[in-house]
Chain A
Amino acid sequence: MKNAKLILIALLLSVFSVSAQEASVSNVLNLRTAKHSGQIVEQNKLVGYFIFYTKEKVDRNNTAYEIQMYDDNYNPSSNFEIVRPKNSILLEMVYNGSVFMLHFYDSKTGYEFVTFDKSGEMKGSKKISKDEISKWDLNKVSMNLQSETENISIYPNGDKGFIRSTFTKYKKIGYEIVAYDNEANEVWSYKSSETSDMIEIVEINDVSANYLTATVTKKKNITTREMSNFMLLINLNDGSKITEISMGDDVSGLRSLLKSFLNESKKNITIVGEYYKPNDDIVKDKSQGLYMQEISLTGEDLGITNYAWKGDIDQFASVTDSDGKKERPFYAFFHDVVISKNGHVFLIGEQFLKQISAGGIAMQVAAGALGGQSNASAFEMLLGDMIVIEFDAKKNLVDFKKVEKKRTNIILPAGMGIYGSTTLGYYIKSMGAFDYSFTSKNKEKDVYDVIYIDANRKEDDKSSKSDLMVGVISIKAGKVTQNRIPINCESKTWWIQPGKPGFISVSEYFRKEKKIDMRLEKLSY
């Protein structure tokens, strides 16, 4: 996420107090970004924060850590002590409404999953030694640690356990979905086929009371761009596969799988994505439009509807930009999908386009003149507006909104210019370079806030630039509104992060006083 990094609170000496309006952490000797603080998430909703810090060295090999938890109003909640091998890193902490699962990583020993109940009592633990872990999983963890990205591999399974996705140790990359109970015991495991001649990667989309949907991507090898997508439906009670549905092929045309949603009351699954011409490449070519497909819980196809960019969607979209010029042929990268209680589906996307970079070329020329090389490509990505595409409960396309924000340019590294826009979209997504930050979700209250950063930091023409301009697209009970909120801070060191639903957390570090002040501000009124 741009400008939304999670911050480590340093050392034993930190004291967190909530005596008044702001939460304050004192004795902060330095700041480090690392996996030692984070959010506690329950059913996609932020419910609190944790800080994981060193208490003392127990012996040569082990260190005692404290995990202090705070609720979504920064109130100290509970704390656990846990003894771990030294150099343990807390990768992930997930709450299922009953217990917490903590995922630890030690570069020497491997993984350990530990569950704690609300009273701080340890319920169970599961170790996976380093040689049992796929190198692909370790690579992913390592990359996430380096880029300070959240490691998301564990999902609550109601309040009875957790689901985790990982890689297998097959010769070819494969995936595994594992279910754990609240005592961290493995209940079942579902793996891709060991004899598959394809690389198979899974991304969990939705977990309901009895079912799990996931996107499975299959490729011949890592470097090939050709891939096929499948929607996988698993019975959560026993881990059995109900169905795996192909998302098209070269003959009929491929379909990407953006998101799938389970609707247990209607006994169906809704899949949303983009569709392509026959023989087109998902990573290389531009899609023809969006599609929505319904599948029964037994795997039957209940129907598919296509919405072409030309002919269906463009009647809602403006053909000119805000300056009245003809709109440029932007691509759309879809960050998230929201489905409101009234059955309406909202695709949240961001416009992007590959173009020649004057700055990149200038850097190359300048570097060349000095006898060196520039790391900049001659191409850049232009990020345009946010877009929201709305479908009603009957799958009719009802609206296409463009939420204007200042266009920004991302100069691509040398060599990236050969790739097409679609590929580059995935690339800049992986780098966290889009303006989209996160979506704050409250399914229960049917409120979703999509947060992005607007490079236009002026509130209006008369104002000067604020420190940060946060754009908010709110979807409340199926109604879309937009808002821009300026955030100004006293301190020179500040950051934002997700707050409880409907709020953003603003933190400021005062170096002289060695303290961090955190407060919550409402996103929209």
Chain B
Amino acid sequence: MTYGRLLYFVLFVFSFLNLQAQNAEENKAQVEEIKQQLIDENLKFTSSQELNSTQNEIYKKKHKQKIDAELKILSSDAIIASGELYLKINSIFDKIVKANPEIPQNTRLVLYRSNDFNAFTMGDNVVFIHIGLLQDLKNEAQIALVISHEIAHNTLRHVEESLIESVKRETDKELEKEISGILRTEYGKVSSLNALLLPRILESREKSRSHEFEADSLGLLYIKNAQFNLSDALSMFHVMERKSKNASDSLNYSSFFHFETIPTIQSLDSEYERESSLGTFTKDDSKLPYLATHPYERDRFYRLATILKVDTTFKTYEPKQDSFHQLLKQQVGMEMIQNSWRNKNISEVIYYAINFLEKNPENEEAKQYLALAFKTLSYFKRKRVAGKFLQLQNPKFPEDFDRVCALTYAISPSDCNALFDIYKKQISQFHSPQSEVVEIIQHIESESYDLLEITYRDNKEVIYNSKLSFILEEIEIQLNNSNMKLNFIVPKSKSKQK
């Protein structure tokens, strides 16, 4: 590397790290602002006229618990409230809020670091959008419909309504009397409780479904006012239906597992069995619609299409990707990988890294994560602790994901090392803390304990503060068990106690 290039690289790394730090600070500031707004808006508690004074006391307590829970979520490192990805989604959010004056203009959006396909609100003018949702939605209008739907829950005060209902149930003297009576009996307690409570549960689920329809309708109005494409928005129900049926994305994982170069992996893949070991169980699904908290996707679609007086043929609304989605893909894809590390789920890391690399084949960061995943697995598999960090197969998973889970379980430590070597060659340099974790494992493998001590001591705090902490913690447990008198290895749990 020439001197000029070296200088450029150092400056790049420095600016990158500086930018990371700045982003973190900005995120923290934004989150604090949202939290403060939440606290300020809830300084004064408003009693419900539907409840008596005793019930209002309970309502007040539940309300406080809800606020505390929301503040706790906002205080976690799962919240994104700044940065490029956030700004893109927030631009949709802003458009909706500004086009609909009835929406409190201080309503805020945050992104939530979870790979689940979900979004939620807790009734306090804060809307949480899961990263996993952004992974699967295909266009701007679909995202807009989800955001509007959650805002509509707040406008319609559904959360408050549910809270009030729960207070009424808890203070229902008749119900309490009946429950006490049942609990005093010796026989048939569970059946009697079920018989007593099931109608109430079904009623509450019915209410929940009607809330969803209401939020859909009002949400539709919001995005109409904000001039989003309504056909594109309706196509969201296709995506939801695909998710609920666990449809596979047909990931081309075989090339990323290098079947041609490592034929042992290919032969393991040929042993994959889709069906559960107990076969397919047909369950009585007739009660499921009544127990669902959300209506089925097609019902929701049909209602909205009817309101709009447009074509109600579901298949007409196949989702189309737009340029907005193209802009998001990279950032969302990388977040999914990061979330998987946080979840300590190496199967997911590999799956989402492959998913990402399919569309961005030259991306070094994803390759680093993939390499690190395989190197970590090679060590964990030799120690027979890989099962703690791998996903077991499930016939309910989409097939491509299930196949990746099966394969990551089956491949040998040496296959993992072979894959690590392949990906390492494609990377110019590992970033921190990936590089330190790889080094530590390599020092253990080569029994270079002097070097291990240096790397471990110099970098353990950095690794502890990252999403890769669990890898180091497991390595510490394993090394602690050894008789090599590695006194410098102090497990994180023990050093905390000190």
Contact = CB atoms under 8 A, between A and B. Distances in A.
Interface in A39-86: 40, 47-48, 55-60, 64, 69, 71-75, 77-78
Contact of B384 (A12, A95, A487): A487
Contacts of B387: 21-22, 506, 519-521
Nearest to A504: B384
A48 B392 CA distance: 13
B307 interface: no
Contacts of A466: 481
B190 A500 contact: no
A488 B388 contact: no
A223 interface: no
A69 B278 contact: yes
Contacts of B189: 56-57
Contacts of A519: 387-388
Interface in A14-30: 18, 20-23
A308 B189 CA distance: 67
Interface size grouping (class) on chain A: 35 or more
Contacts of B345: 20-21
Contacts of B482: 462-464
B187 A74 contact: no
A490 to B, nearest CB: 7
A119 B283 contact: yes
B394 A18 contact: yes
Interface stretch (B33-41, B252-260, B408-416): B408-416
B187 A60 contact: yes
A19 to B, nearest CB: 10
Interface in B246-293: 271, 276-284
A123 interface: no
A518 B415 CA distance: 25
Nearest to A119: B282
B196 to A, nearest CB: 14
Interface in A459-512: 462-464, 466, 485-488, 490, 500, 506
A500 B483 CA distance: 33
Interface string B13-52: 0000000000000000000000000000000000000000
B381 interface: yes
A284 interface: no
A522 interface: yes
Contacts of B394: 18, 73, 75
Contact of A23 (B347, B381, B392, B483): B392
A417 B305 CA distance: 86
Contacts of A500: 277
B386 A64 contact: no
Contacts of B347: 21
B473 to A, nearest CB: 10
B281 A77 contact: yes
Given A59-B188, A520-B387, A521-B387, A74 B392 contact: yes
Contacts of B277: 47-48, 71-73, 500
A74 B411 CA distance: 20
B174 interface: no
A22 B187 contact: no
Interface in B377-432: 381, 383-396, 409-415
B190 A71 contact: no
Nearest to B194: A56
Going nearest first, the 6 A-B pairs with the smallest beta carbon separation are: A525-B412, A519-B387, A464-B483, A56-B190, A72-B277, A73-B392
11 contacts: A18-B392, A20-B343, A22-B387, A57-B188, A58-B191, A71-B276, A71-B278, A73-B276, A463-B482, A490-B477, A517-B388
